[in-house]
Amino acid sequence: MERERETQVSNTNNILMLPGDGIGPEVMGEVKRVIDWMNDKMDTGFAVEEDLVGGACYDAHGCAVTDETVAKAQAADAVLLGAVGGPRWDAVARQHRPEAGLLRLRKDLDLFANLRPALVFDALIDASTLKPEIVRGLDIMIVRELTAGVYFGQPRGIETRDGVRYGFDNQIYSEPEIQRVARVAFDLAKKRGNKVTSVEKSNVMESGIFWREVVTKLHADEFADVELGHMYADNCSMQLVRWPAQFDVIVTDNLFGDILSDCAAMLTGSLGMLPSASLGARDPETGKIPAMYEPVHGSAPDIAGQNKANPLATVLSYSMMLRYSFDMTDAADKLDQAVQNVLAHGLRTADIMSDGMTLVTTSGMGDAVIKELEAMG
């Protein structure tokens, strides 16, 4: 009996759920229903613990995330986050703002690779501002370096020099930092279209020259079987709206990745549909990869608590968790298909509503996803 109990414990997958602020608790609630359904029907074995982050944590503890919550995140098999922020915390000191909790989690878990898919669902082609023939079948993965670059470089600040005020930030990358995020991109490409586009500004930035050199050498040494192209960041932004189908996997630095992933997101027609994953390095002893999954959309405080929010981006973030943290490909595929089916049946939350479709609430969309899962058996 004791041996059986130990086996059950070892097979438990521990998820730390951080609903956050605004619509975060609502959309996370629908994901929790999906997790419970999969535990019951598919024996996925997830144990879920909830905690506070962002403004909710500031209100309770005076900081955006506590040391105890960070420790829980480090011990968990994966972290699922809702959203942080809102105008009610605009006057809070910068180090305690809701976004500081998200940045600390990324930094302390060393989540250096941010995966941002830009996927156009067939049923939502008309939601894109681009012509259908441009975005039909679009499936891009942007891999953004997340823990270095200009957002974290030192020195940085605002100073007065000889009576003149200056603001400055430092863009800096080490070779290992570039190598590890590029390696993630190449590995992903081998499971997709086998093509990587590395993006920088090597025409005007020394860090861009260095980035291109490091990626090129890594490609030659370890990934010569993957097609590699290089592109300047400004040209990449233009090409994303001109001919996005040319891309498979894009790898780039923190700043350009922040900009380009939002540009690519709008090709799909709605931020409410887009998930993301942030991954760290695999532990050589345990094989564990630190990971946090979250929807791309913000906390949308204007509709919080009204049962209007679209939970699908968070549902799809959970699907990415199934795929990348737990190797549950079949379960992830099934959940993705359930979302596709719901959209094909014309169900829409307000953010993706169009003529002839059926408007549903946050919980109504959750009901529909579970109904599709049950229909697939």
361 confidence band (pLDDT: 50, 70, 90): very high
Condensed to tens digits (0 to 9), the pLDDT of residues 234-292 reads 999 999 999 999 999 999 999 999 999 989 988 887 777 899 999 999 888 888 899 99
Known catalytic residue at 262: yes
Catalytic annotation present for 258? yes
> pLDDT, tens digit, for every residue of 193-203?
999 999 999 99
Find the helix or strand (DSSP H, E) in which 233 lies.
helix 233-242
Q: Which of 157-180 are b and which e, b meaning 16 or more Cβ less than 10 Å from the residue's Cβ?
A: eeeeeeeeeeeeeebebeeebbbb
Q: Is 217 a catalytic residue?
A: no
Q: What percent of the chain has pLDDT over 90?
A: 85
Catalytic residue, candidates 21, 51, 58, 201: 201
Annotated active-site residue in 108, 151, 190, 371: 151
Question: For the segment 68-123, what is each residue's pLDDT rounded down to a tens digit?
Answer: 999 999 999 999 999 999 999 999 998 999 999 998 999 899 999 999 999 998 89
- Respond yes or no: is residue 21 known to be catalytic: no
Q: Are 316 and 30 in contact (CB under 8 A)?
A: no
Reported as type and span, the H/E element at residue 97 is none
Instruction: Single out the catalytic residue among 258, 324, 334, 351.
Output: 258
As a whole number of angstroms, the distance between CA 83 and CA 265 comes to 17
Domains of the chain: 11-112+280-377 (3.40.718.10), 120-271 (3.40.718.10)
φ, ψ at 90 (rounded to 5°):
-65, -30
Q: Give yes or no: 151 in active site.
A: yes
Span 281-331, pLDDT tens digits: 988 888 889 999 999 999 999 999 999 999 999 999 999 999 999 999 999
The model's pTM is: 0.89
Residue of 110, 169, 234, 367 marked catalytic: 234
> Distance (Å, rounded) from C-alpha 19 to C-alpha 264?
25
Report yes or no: 207 and 173 within 8 Å, Cβ to Cβ.
yes
Q: Which of 108, 262, 367, 371 is catalytic?
A: 262
